[in-house]
Chains A and B, each alone.
Chain A
Amino acid sequence: MRSLIELTCYVLPEIRSFDRRIHREEEGEAMYGFEALTFNIHGGYLEAIVRGYRSGLLTAADYNNLCQCETLDDIKMHLSATEYGTYLQNGALISHSSSRCGSDSVSRICADLRDSGRHVLVSYIPDQKPDSFLCRGIAYQPMEKGAKPSPLHTTTIVEKCTLKLLDEYKHMLCQATEPLSTFLEYITYGYMIDNVVLIVTGTLHERDVQELLEKCHPLGMFDSIATLAVAQNMRELYRLVLVDTPLASYFSECITSEDLDDMNIEIMRNTLYKAYLEDFYNFCQKLGGATAEIMSDLLAFEADRRAVNITINSIGTELTRDDRWKLYSNFGLLYPYGHEELAVCEDIDQVRGAMEKYPPYQSIFAKISYGESQMLDKAFYEEEVKRLCLAFEQQFHYAVFFAYMRLKEQEIRNLMWISECVAQNQKTRIHDSVVFIF
């Protein structure tokens, strides 16, 4: 009896301190190595979902089938046997929405749609709050009898695949809590930057706002994006629109340049992207644990790849060395000595010389022969895919989401390449640029 009391007196305090550690983790300070204990509380469902999505990516066998297609209709037929089936139906995709709503409103909506003759695919997913459902509905109008199917273009295929990615992303975003939701949003800031730059450029050249909005990437849309067209210069742009978006902090470096002309637009885009990468990197470092480790590796590769590309593409243009240096990110394998060397490079062989000092990049540059830089992009893509696949080997971290988005993007690129080759009758080149993911 007495020993039991002693046991509880000695052991209970340990357990209490153990509790405290768990609480600290729940507040966001992950203890590396112990994620298995607590990750699944908030992130387990979504990690399972994303791993499910990952197993739906096209395999080498699928790609081989697709490469042997003769026409776009064959491709569509093969794709409808994969996860893309519902998206490539002939009926027009009317609406797709993921929203939190009560169960009664959901049944009302379904009844309405069914009455109007449209098909509804609804999936009910229990949400965290006890009495609301996450209603994910895809409504599409079936083809009228006798109507001819619209001719299939490669752009349609790419559009529908991107739509699928968008749906998956929105589904995950709806389910996520902090800090995962912030992490997921960070992934889309890159597309947001592209959209902002596109609209600003278009407005500068007096294009119609609606047309510009249609050309934006769907993952990078935000609510006030249409008001970008109103701004006349950078300061107004910032004050009216951007200060409310997550991109606000990235603009502090660009705010000095008052006028928007064509030279500045491209530099502006790259400066924003540099600020975004650094911000993302710092955020991941704050998250700590496996996320920080894997994400810093992936982001470092991205930063280095951008540095090499910027160097190669600015050889022979008006971009000065200082400007070039300013566009390099301040993290990554190449920082800072590699950047010093890259900034003074004047042709591709010098770049190669600078990069071969770093073993991971040496293998990339070994794949392309002297003087040729066309295959460099494909080599970079292959390396990226390899690293992204490795991210899935570990559990209980957020980098799987980032890896999945990037892999999906690569898959869409592959599909675009295959469809274009088939449509343009260039079957011999089809294997040049398809990067197999598995």
Chain B
Amino acid sequence: MSGQSQRLNVVPTVTMLGVMKARLVGATRGHALLKKKSDALTVQFRQILKKIISTKESMGDVMRNSSFALTEAKYVAGDNIKHVVLESVKSASLRVRSRQDNVAGVKLPRFEHFTDHSAGDAKSDLTGLARGGQQVQSCRTAYVKAIEVLVELASLQTSFLTLDEAIKTTNRRVNALENVVKPRLENTITYIKGELDELEREDFFRLKKIQGYKKREIERREQDAKKYADNIPLKTGISMNSAHNLIFVGAEKDDDIIF
């Protein structure tokens, strides 16, 4: 960017000055609000981060337990148990749905799981009836718990990413306002003020100059008039008054002198 804080190209009038001032006020208020929003989002962000770390650790444990439960089930019910269960499933009974949460103005997606009873998981209660039924059921509970943890982790991670985006955008805006918009506006205002001052000074100067001229003009005229009045008595020797009378009164009604 050439010139770190340029100014806007505007006509430097008083109205423009008012407009610029209004904009500066708006920018300042916006800057304060966005900064508060960014702080609130950062607080949420840190909380989610802490929760993610603890959930990930517990997920490691839970997955381990559930894999082991599967091994136990395979041991007792035969290696085929995985295929038997998989083939007898029509549709999933444990499902996930998503909804939007509003956190400090940001829409975060949240996932939650629910059991779809119509998918009929009651029938699979009889899996491994002759051997291994208990292990199959305990394996199922272990995996349901694993799903719960995973779903929670998924919603935490998506909120994490969304919040991250939102924080970046907000910070970008805050920085832009602070480092670009406001200086620009301030510079523009300064420029307008400067221009206006200059115009005023010019006017003032012009005024003064003209006054000077006028004064000199009047003085000159008076000088001229005075000089003329002095000149006539010097030539004919009459008083200025009579000369005056001569010129002005005498010129009015006088008979022609005839010889």
The residues of A with any CB-CB pair to B shorter than 8 Å are: 158, 194, 197-198, 201-202, 205, 207, 212, 215, 217, 261-263, 265-267, 269-270, 273, 305-306, 309-310, 312-314, 316-319, 327, 373-374, 376-377, 413, 416-417, 420-421, 424-426, 429, 433
Contact (Cβ within 8 A) A201 B88? yes
**What are 24 A-to-B residue pairs whose CB atoms are below 8 Å?**
A197-B84, A205-B87, A205-B89, A215-B80, A215-B83, A215-B87, A217-B80, A261-B123, A262-B123, A265-B88, A266-B126, A266-B129, A309-B132, A310-B130, A313-B133, A314-B126, A316-B125, A327-B129, A376-B134, A377-B76, A416-B71, A420-B68, A424-B71, A426-B64
Q: State whether the Cβ of B90 lies closer than 8 Å to any Cβ in chain A.
A: yes
Tell me which residues across on chain A come within 8 A of B87, comparing CB atoms.
198, 201-202, 205, 207, 212, 215
Q: A314-B133, A316-B125, A317-B126 are in contact. List 5 more A-B contacts (CB 8 A).
A: A194-B84, A198-B87, A309-B130, A313-B126, A376-B134
Cβ < 8 Å to A, chain B residues 126-142: 126-135, 138
Q: With A266-B126, A309-B131, A424-B64 given, is the CB distance from A416 to B79 under 8 Å?
A: yes
Contact (Cβ within 8 A) A312 B133? yes
Cβ < 8 Å to A, chain B residues 94-131: 120, 122-131
Q: In this complex, what residue of A is CB-closest to B133?
A: A313
Contact (Cβ within 8 A) B126 A267? yes
Q: How far is the CA of A425 from the CA of B76 in the complex (A)?
A: 20
Tell me which residues across on chain B come within 8 A of A433, comparing CB atoms.
72, 75
Contact (Cβ within 8 A) A417 B125? no
Q: State whether the Cβ of B67 lies closer than 8 Å to any Cβ in chain A.
A: yes
Q: In this complex, what residue of A is CB-closest to B78?
A: A194
Q: How far is the CA of A267 from the CA of B125 in the complex (A)?
A: 12
Q: In this complex, what residue of B is CB-closest to A412?
A: B79
Contact (Cβ within 8 A) A424 B88? no
Q: With A202-B87, A424-B71 given, is the CB distance from A374 to B123 under 8 Å?
A: no
**Closest-CB distance, B118 to chain A (whole angstroms):** 14
Q: With A205-B88, A265-B88 given, is the CB distance from A198 to B83 under 8 Å?
A: yes
Tell me which residues across on chain B come within 8 A of A420, comparing CB atoms.
68, 71, 74
Most buried by B among A198, A327, A421: A198
Tell me which residues across on chain A come within 8 A of B68, comparing CB atoms.
420, 424, 426, 429
Tell me which residues across on chain A come within 8 A of B88, comparing CB atoms.
201, 205, 262, 265
CB-contact partner of A158 in B79, B83, B130, under 8 A? B79
**Closest-CB distance, B137 to chain A (whole angstroms):** 8
Contact (Cβ within 8 A) A270 B130? yes
Contact (Cβ within 8 A) B124 A313? no
Q: In this complex, what residue of A is CB-closest to B84?
A: A198
Q: How far is the CA of A212 from the CA of B133 in the complex (A)?
A: 22
**Closest-CB distance, A14 to chain B (whole angstroms):** 53
CB-contact partner of A201 in B84, B120, B129, under 8 A? B84
Contact (Cβ within 8 A) A263 B132? no
**Closest-CB distance, B146 to chain A (whole angstroms):** 14
Q: How far is the CA of A273 from the CA of B79 in the complex (A)?
A: 18
Contact (Cβ within 8 A) B130 A306? yes
Contact (Cβ within 8 A) B130 A198? no
Q: How many residues does chain B have at the interface if contact means C-beta atoms less than 8 Å apart?
A: 33
Tell me which residues across on chain A come within 8 A of B64, comparing CB atoms.
424-426
Q: How far is the CA of A305 from the CA of B76 in the complex (A)?
A: 13
CB-contact partner of B129 in A215, A261, A270, A373, under 8 A? A270
Q: How far is the CA of A417 from the CA of B129 in the complex (A)?
A: 21
Q: In this complex, what residue of B is CB-closest to A154?
A: B71
Tell me which residues across on chain A come within 8 A of B74, comparing CB atoms.
416, 420
Q: In this complex, what residue of A is CB-closest to B82?
A: A215
Kindly supply a per-residue 1/0 record for chain B positions 37-76, scoring 1 wherever the CB is within 8 Å of any chain A CB and 0 otherwise: 0000000000000000000000000001001100110111
Q: How far is the CA of A7 from the CA of B113 in the complex (A)?
A: 94
Q: How far is the CA of A201 from the CA of B87 in the complex (A)?
A: 6
Q: How far is the CA of A313 from the CA of B125 in the complex (A)?
A: 9
Q: How far is the CA of A212 from the CA of B79 in the complex (A)?
A: 15
Contact (Cβ within 8 A) A198 B125? no
Tell me which residues across on chain B come within 8 A of A270, comparing CB atoms.
129-130
**Closest-CB distance, A429 to chain B (whole angstroms):** 7
Q: In this complex, what residue of A is CB-closest to B138?
A: A374
Most buried by A among B67, B123, B126, B131: B126
Contact (Cβ within 8 A) B126 A205? no
Q: In this complex, what residue of A is CB-closest to B91?
A: A205
Q: How far is the CA of A180 from the CA of B31 in the complex (A)?
A: 92
Contact (Cβ within 8 A) A309 B129? yes
Tell me which residues across on chain A come within 8 A of B129, comparing CB atoms.
266, 269-270, 309-310, 313-314, 319, 327
Contact (Cβ within 8 A) B134 A416? no
Contact (Cβ within 8 A) B134 A262? no
Tell me which residues across on chain B come within 8 A of A413, comparing CB atoms.
75
Most buried by A among B75, B80, B84, B129: B129
Q: In this complex, what residue of B is CB-closest to A212?
A: B87
Cβ < 8 Å to A, chain B residues 171-190: none
Q: How far is the CA of A275 from the CA of B99 in the complex (A)?
A: 53
Q: Pick the 9 closest A-B CB pairs, nearest first.
A: A313-B133, A262-B123, A202-B87, A215-B83, A266-B126, A420-B71, A377-B76, A317-B125, A306-B130
Q: In this complex, what residue of B is CB-closest to A162?
A: B79
Contact (Cβ within 8 A) A318 B76? no
Tell me which residues across on chain B come within 8 A of A327, comparing CB atoms.
129
